[in-house]
Chains A and B, each alone.
Chain A
Amino acid sequence: MLSKQNKEVLFNPFSKDNPVLVQILGICSTLAVTAKLEPAIVMGMSVIAVMAFSNVIISLIRSTIPTTIRIIVQLVVVAALVIVVQQFLIAYDYDVSRQLSVFIGLIITNCILMGRLEAFALNNRPWPSFLDGIGNGLGYTIILVIVAFFRELLGSGTLFGYQVIPQFCYDHGYMNNGLMILPPMALITVACIIWVHRARNKDLQEK
């Protein structure tokens, strides 16, 4: 089921081959949806679902796709899946779908998806492709959650919408950092995570 090779496909994107930290892909959506934890997690799950299924579909039809129009075929598959996810969210989690608004639609333009389809699904069998989609989706989600954790905690003093910084801190002059809510701080937070990640993984450092 999980051969050594498949395990690598699944787990490498968590750290050594992380799409956000190492490949620096999908940064725009990382900035956009990480002001609060809940939308970040739903966004991550949506990306995992879209990535896994689009990888499988492309892998299944890979031998039939004409090379000249392969990008268009990939786009159509991704776009269709994203719309399906969006419709399901409106039907079953209306509040979150309203919070994420346009960003679910923008999964279509998430470079991680096209990158994985081009680099992996077009040349591999469905099962490894599925694992690759799940792995990369999780790798992306982990970063979203870490960034959203710090931004929500420092920017709003809450986690999942619940107040965690006690009132007496505010009484003694503590203020929420409004800058954390703005996109620039997401970029800086991601940069700090990359810094820590590279400091710990010496083989990722450029000479």
Chain B
Amino acid sequence: MNKNSNTYQIVYAAIMVLLVGSVLAFVYMALKPKQDENIANDKRAQILSAINIESNEAELKDNFNKYIVADYIVDDKGEIADSAANSAFNVNMKSNIKQANRVLPVYKSVLADGQVKYILPVYGAGLWGPIWGYVAVNDDGNTIFGTSFSHEGETPGLGARITENEFKAQFVGKKIMKEGAFKSVEVVKKGQKSLDGADYVDAISGATITSRGVGSMIAHCLSSYEPFLKKLAASNNQLNSQEE
């Protein structure tokens, strides 16, 4: 048979593509459940990491069910719009963030000592790809309790350090609101201060664009939660004055 005839080449290529395509499809289908579970578990671990709970693989699901007591969607007035189970967990932030009237997922968690924290997901752009994370806020709707950040492909040792504790810990205790208005928490070059009086943390040296990305991600994503946070603050004040 003439191996260089056109017919042979076309038939050869077609059979090869069909064969490879079906093998890949099979591998994809066979591994899909395992992969989905990994991705969901990773998400759970990140959410828990925002309230400083690190757990190994075995405890992860139990811890998540134990500490995350509810997840729901709030609307732009701060009211709960959808409180079905997993309504927040199933939100895909990647597609959600691009929509004009996006939904606002909230995870409510109760810690071992009874403190209530609200965990808000954030999503933005780093240097090489998307970055995302979770910001846990105290029930005063203002003070940051903890954060966790993750990324797709930031430079190891530079931008990728946003996932490390040293960077995350800086956010603890910072205020999102100043005098009742949303101010966010800025990420500024070491030694500099925020210009408009907002709270700030130090950027990672050598990773200017990723750091800036974290700052604008927090500002952009949390600003939509302003009504919700204000509502929290109001109900918290009410509670405190009742106690007095």
Binding site for B on A (CB under 8 A): 35-36, 39, 64-69, 72-73, 76-77, 80, 83-84, 87-88, 90-92, 94, 98-99, 101-102, 155-156, 178, 181-182
* A92→B23 CA distance, assembly (Å): 19
Chain A binding surface, main DSSP class: helix
Q: Report the nearest B residue to A83, measured CB to CB.
A: B24
Q: Report the nearest B residue to A156, measured CB to CB.
A: B157
Kindly provide the distance from the CB of B88 to the nearest chain A CB, expressed in whole angstroms: 22
Which of B28-36, B62-70, B74-82, B171-179 lies at the interface?
B28-36
Given contacts A76-B20, A181-B158, contact A87 B8 (CB under 8 A): no
Count class of interface residues, chain B: 20 to 34
Complex contacts, A35 vs chain B, CB 8 Å:
155-157
Contact of A102 among B17, B20, B153, B156 (CB under 8 A): B153
- Contact call A87/B12, Cβ cutoff below 8 A: no
Kindly provide the distance from the CB of A39 to the nearest chain B CB, expressed in whole angstroms: 7
- Contact call B16/A76, Cβ cutoff below 8 A: yes
* A181→B205 CA distance, assembly (Å): 13
- Contact call A94/B20, Cβ cutoff below 8 A: no
* A73→B3 CA distance, assembly (Å): 14
Contact of B4 among A66, A91, A94, A102 (CB under 8 A): A66
Nearest first, the 5 closest Cβ-Cβ pairs linking A and B are A181-B157, A94-B38, A35-B156, A91-B34, A101-B153
Complex contacts, A39 vs chain B, CB 8 Å:
156
B39 at the interface (CB under 8 A from A): yes
Between A and B, 28 residue pairs with Cβ closer than 8 Å are A35-B155, A35-B157, A64-B3, A64-B12, A66-B4, A66-B8, A66-B9, A67-B4, A69-B9, A72-B13, A73-B16, A80-B23, A84-B23, A84-B24, A84-B27, A87-B28, A87-B31, A88-B31, A91-B31, A94-B39, A101-B129, A101-B153, A102-B153, A155-B157, A156-B157, A178-B206, A181-B158, A182-B158
